A and B are shown apart, each in its own frame.
Chain A
Amino acid sequence: MAILVIAEHENGAVAPATLNTVDAAAKIGGDIHVLVAGQGVGAAAQAAANIAGVSKVLVADNAAYAHQLPENVAPLVAEIGKAYSHVLAPATSNGKNILPRVAALLDVDQISEIISVESADTFKRPIYAGNAIATVQSSAAVKVITVRATGFDAVAAEGGSAAVEAVAAAHDAGKSAFVGEELAKSDRPELTAAKIVVSGGRGMQNGDNFKHLYALADKLGAGVGASRAAVDAGFVPNDMQVGQTGKIVAPQLYIAVGISGAIQHLAGMKDSKVIVAINKDEEAPIFQVADYGLVADLFEAVPELENLL
């Protein structure tokens, strides 16, 4: 039994979520192979070969796989994947985009965003915005699974010495083309990997006031997130959104500022180790999940907090 992990990578580095996915593969048990598909991915393939526990790295280096267009990458993964018992990918926007297409090509159901491995064919995953946990058993010949990174530990990025093998297959469906991208620039830690996350909601009142959170985050070395209300109001870009429809985070410390705590927001952060809520409404639902709650005006409390750190 061997497991194929689809690597998430950019600029010659393997994205952290890949390391959590390898941990999930290790819990299933079996040889772990990693597929690195893209264009000019030599450095990323070498980085994948160094991951602890990986025994082989397959490299598909082809212009058709640049930008991870699912019309081209999915047939590649389906072709390689049918020889494996499991095909895993991190539940990133790429993983969610490509893997269901792979599952359909293999004619199997997919299991999305697992948070634990019970056995080689049984997994747990949240449903209803995290308000219920389903235990799902698969009888598929190839089990196609996306992995929620925050449900697993990251394996060591160094220490492995996997063989690197080139894959010749080139699939170019010719149905889609990459036009351009507009990536948000940030010097702060990536939201899903940050140890501490500071998030703001509608209570921030405007985008300019987020500077208080940035100052606090910089003191703590934290990532900055937001609720859907703050994103919809145009305070911050949407890739900062934490929630059922945004990013799922589980940091050591999550500080929710001016966030009421709607179900869809809680779905994205309630697995954080320690939750702090700062809100002037003492009835806000966020206080029901917060380990430490402070009923106060955030415009006084946040600068004071920053000063005390």
Chain B
Amino acid sequence: MIETALKVLFILLYATFVGFMFMGIIRIVTARIHRRVGPPIYQPILDTIKLLSKESNITHGFIYDFGILYAVGATILAVMFIPLGSIGVLRAYGDLILITFLLEIPMLGIMFAAMSSGNPWAGIGAQRALLTLLAIQVPLGFAVIALAEYYGTFSTYEIVMAQQISGWSIAHFPLLLAAIAYDLVLQAMFGKEPFDIMIAPGEISLGPMVEFGGKHMGLLNIQHAIALFAETLFFSNIFLGGGVVTAFSSPVLNTIAGLLVLLVKQIAVLLVATFMAAIFPRFTIDQAAKFYWKWPTIIAALGAILASL
């Protein structure tokens, strides 16, 4: 029991810390692409501390507070289900559909909170976010089906184990297609250009986030950090072979090596997303919906069909 609690705590702290580092990496890499220096890597942590220490906190009622907590909670739950190397609390139950679902729940929480603020910008943002959510479901579904078809299981942990034997998922052509589709979907899940339509800074003044300030925004920052960690972790687990290392004899060394391997893979996923975000302009919402129902869907469906042959 205590061991599990310790594990949960470790995963939580690790996910939050690494998530913040990822946010810092995104900012630095984006800055370098623009030939700027950028902030220090720990800047998001400072930002969050600042937000959490704000004196005035505006609230618009129960749902407004609850939505945020709901989003944070769902994200944390998602992390618990995803195998983190050889550490994992609920990894035996970490089924593809469940995790995919849990990774989208936070968006709903934020939407709840945003809608209850009564700000029209937040309303527009929420609408756009929900439409994006709707649009990414189709390719996402096909990608998950392709995986499940290929490995014959929905369990994430078993998929990781299967990759230990048969090589990374992206080495197989049908799953490569699924991975490409999933990577395009990731862009929307991170809320990065070209699919950051729901946040859309400069267009609808931050959309759902427009009313949040102080502790609400601080919590959202933490949520974003953990979500970044969870999404990259999930991608590395199902497509990049996860982080199970058995090279050393001692289990502690193996675990640490596994975490490092995973970290490298996660950063690779993150970098691709950052590059895309830095060089592509934002889609409009109708273009995004059309895009997701067209190319990623075709690619992922092709992958699913090929995987089932």
| Chain B associates with chain A | no
User: Using a CB–CB distance below 8 Å, which chain A residues touch chain B?
Assistant: none
Q: Which residues of B contact A (CB under 8 A)?
A: none
